[in-house]
């Protein structure tokens, strides 16, 4: 059975600005670069092109590395983009990046569905890694955009 993780934050900027950061190459480089256990082999050429792939080398455990191929399968300017793992450590991993306008603010929700070996137990360990990683990513996004943010939720649903 798949587990679902979400991390949702409100940013003090227009949704177009928040989305543009993620659409630009600097967004990928900034956010993926936060994790020293991830090495970028091939960045995506563009998140707006369906079928574009990112290829990463991820360290699962000390001395155990795995290639992770993610493919962009959905794009709606200023609203969402979706990538899915085609090869990697998970049995299933789909990441939907959702963007909403909230008056003068914008809301970013990272919605992730995943399945991993022994998921009923493993999902709790994966949850802590995802929570740390996505809170850090939201903070880095706010820092890059030079704006304030507030985390609204980060956990398994």
Confidence category of residue 61, pLDDT binned at 50, 70, 90: confident
| Alpha carbons 11 and 148: distance in angstroms, whole number | 6
Confidence category of residue 124, pLDDT binned at 50, 70, 90: confident
Q: Evaluate if residue 82 carries a pLDDT over 80.
A: yes
> Which residue, among 88, 130, 100, 98, has the nearest Cα to 3 in the 3D structure?
130
Beta-carbon contacts of residue 52 (< 8 Å; ≥ 6 apart) = 44, 45, 46, 71, 72
Percentage of the chain lying above the pLDDT 70 cut: 99
So what's the pLDDT on residue 112?
98
So what's the pLDDT on residue 88?
96
| Alpha carbons 15 and 107: distance in angstroms, whole number | 7
């Amino acid at each position: 059975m798949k587990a679902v993780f979400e991390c949702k934050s409100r940013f003090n900027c227009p949704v177009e600005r928040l989305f543009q950061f993620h659409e630009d190459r600097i967004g990928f480089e900034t956010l993926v670069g936060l994790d020293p256990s991830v090495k970028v082999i091939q960045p995506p050429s563009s998140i707006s092109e369906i079928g574009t792939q990112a290829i990463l080398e991820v360290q699962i455990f000390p001395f155990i590395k795995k290639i992770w191929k993610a493919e962009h399968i959905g794009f709606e300017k200023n609203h969402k983009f979706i990538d899915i793992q085609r090869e990697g450590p998970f049995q299933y991993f789909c990441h939907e990046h959702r963007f909403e306008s909230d008056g003068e603010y914008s809301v970013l929700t990272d919605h992730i569905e995943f399945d991993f070996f022994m998921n009923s137990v493993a999902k709790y360990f994966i949850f802590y890694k995802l929570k740390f990683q996505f809170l850090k990513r939201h903070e880095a996004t706010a820092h890059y955009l030079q704006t304030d943010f507030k985390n609204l939720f980060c956990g398994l649903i």
